[in-house]
Amino acid sequence: MYKRQGEHVAGGAGAAAPAPRGVRFAPPAFDARDRREMDRAAEEAKAMGIVTESAMAMQAAAFSGDAARVRALLARGANVNALFRGRRPLHCAASCGDVDCVAALLEAEGVNVDGRCGEGFRSPLHHALRHGRLAAARLLLAGGANANAADGHHARPLHVAAGAGDGDAVDALVAAGADARARDGRGRTPRDLARDFGYLAICKALVAAEARVVKRATMLRRATKASSAALAAYATRRKADGVSTLDAPAPAPLPRLPRGGLGRGAGAGAS
């Protein structure tokens, strides 16, 4: 669907593009959800003394794509979120791309779909996209994975997909609510990565996705402003009539923002 145009920079699609000279960028602060997951992973990695046999067996089964073995271990009480050698079972299943293993783990009670690994603090969705496992990534998104999860370098799943030239993954992430304007630790948006590596069709699709984000934010800001003005006018009228606004019924709520055409995938903007 998406064809690469031009030559990418030396080092391949996995290499980091050089930061612009003379430009200083302060990395964005992690939000509370990302920080909580990273702190949890760091604490578990530090506190992990003796690795149980079930944790080793679970990771081996997930890496090999043995869904039956995974379900059997879970039935015996294996920890679905056990951190072993820096990864959890869901990281392993997402990396190998076995959808049956991913499904088995997502069905387990207490699974942390956004649990971070011990190296790079990446989520299972990051791992699936880094290895080109689109089916596993779609399953993770359907299972509630955070499409805007940040890793230790502030890179979001959309950065990974755009840098790898995976247009279908970009579409899936944008449709799931990924922020096309998010910046990584070096100040780059997903569109910057797609442009640097020569993925012009993906770059064009991300431009359209960014425009939809801006449009929706503008509509929300205008609606909020109109709502505030309407409430102020209502309070003024009630006060002029000598009626307390606390005792009077509230005005009819404003209509909700139209959502048609604002939540479509990135592919709608690609030609």
pLDDT (tens digit per residue) in 41-100:
777 665 554 456 778 899 999 999 999 999 999 999 899 998 888 899 999 999 999 999
Q: 168: which residues sit within 8 A by CB, 6+ positions away?
A: 1, 2, 134, 267
Q: Given this model, what pLDDT does residue 13 score? A: 46
The first and second tokens of residue 183, run together, are 């910046």
Q: Given this model, what pLDDT does residue 243 score? A: 56
CB distance 2 to 269 below 8 Å: no
pTM: 0.67
CB distance 37 to 56 below 8 Å: no
Give the pLDDT confidence of 111-142 residue by residue, as tens digits. Answer: 999 999 988 899 999 999 999 999 999 999 99
Q: Across the chain, where does the E strand assignment appear? A: none
Q: Which among 19, 20, 22, 14 has a CA at the least distance from the CA of 197? A: 14
